[in-house]
Amino acid sequence: MRTKIVAGNWKMNKNFHEGLELTSEITGMVNDEINGNVEVVLIPTYIHLNAISQLTQGSNKISTGAQNCHIENSGAYTGEISAAMVAAAGCKYCLAGHSERRLFNNETNSVLAKKVDAILANNLSPIYCCGETLEERNAEKHFDIIGSQVKEGLFHLNNEQILKCVIAYEPVWAIGTGVTASTAQAQEVHAYIRTSLTEKYGIDIASQIRILYGGSVKPDNAKELFSQADIDGGLVGGAALQSRSFVDIVKGAV
């Protein structure tokens, strides 16, 4: 059985005070209301990570992650943050290849493969994001696009390394739009990703890897999405910025 993950990607939202407040609320609610086996991950902006990691230590269900990292551990890269620094801030996870970074920061699969290496080298788990645009889906290219993103970003890893990875399928057309992929559409892509993992790594390994869905996950659609055979939780944006809606989504995973 794969333990489900519900991760909140706060993107560029919440100042420091608001971030601490949201974390305290979520930690309290998770401790009081969530009994089942689920991992909750908070992914705030870098400069809140240290304090938020410390605040979440009161709950064995909650950990933290960063939204991105640089491929090098240190050096003359003004404005960048390394995976080593993310690890030192108490994180367990680091996103790689969110569609907003692919789009606004020109992150390619080959650069992302190096980010995944840097993340793993620092004993963090990558949450590797993939997903097609609306144009690509309409042209029925989504399986090709997602297949290349997953293969080029992850398939250089050995068995031990791939087992530390989490994959997030986030159709670009569902992010922040209120248009969620149907459960059938999401499950179809998740099954495709798991089949690709099986072809490369074998069924024993593929069946252990968590694949999350992201894109307009809300309290009223979370349970149905997370109950699909190959959907192991969610990567939540907008609805993760409010404690009640986020924890209600977490409930959909238990």
Confirm or reject binding of residue 130 to ligand 13P (CB under 6 A): no
Separation of CA 216 from chain center: 14
| CB 241, min distance to ligand 13P, A | 9
| CB 222, min distance to ligand 13P, A | 11
Which residue in 87, 82, 153, 72 sits closest to 125, CA to CA? 87
Cα(57)–Cα(9) distance, integer angstroms: 19
Active site residue 170: yes
Give the SS3 label for residue 244.
Answer: helix
Confirm or reject binding of residue 64 to ligand 13P (CB under 6 A): no
At 71, the amino acid letter reads I
Active site residue 140: no
From 215, 222, 250, 252, residue interacting with ligand 13P (rule: CB under 6 A): 215
Task: Give the residue with the Cβ less far from ligand 13P, 19 or 214.
Answer: 214
Residue 213 pairs with which residues in a beta bridge?
A: 169, 234
Count of residues touching ligand 13P (by CB under 6 A): 14
Question: Site residues for ligand 13P, window 5-24 (CB under 6 A)?
Answer: 9
Phi and psi (nearest 5°) for 163? -65, -20
Confirm or reject binding of residue 153 to ligand 13P (CB under 6 A): no
Residue 116's region, left for phi above 0, alpha for psi from -120 to 50, else beta, is alpha
Q: Which residues form the catalytic set?
A: 98, 170
Contact set with ligand 13P (CB under 6 A): 9, 98, 170, 175-176, 214-217, 235-239
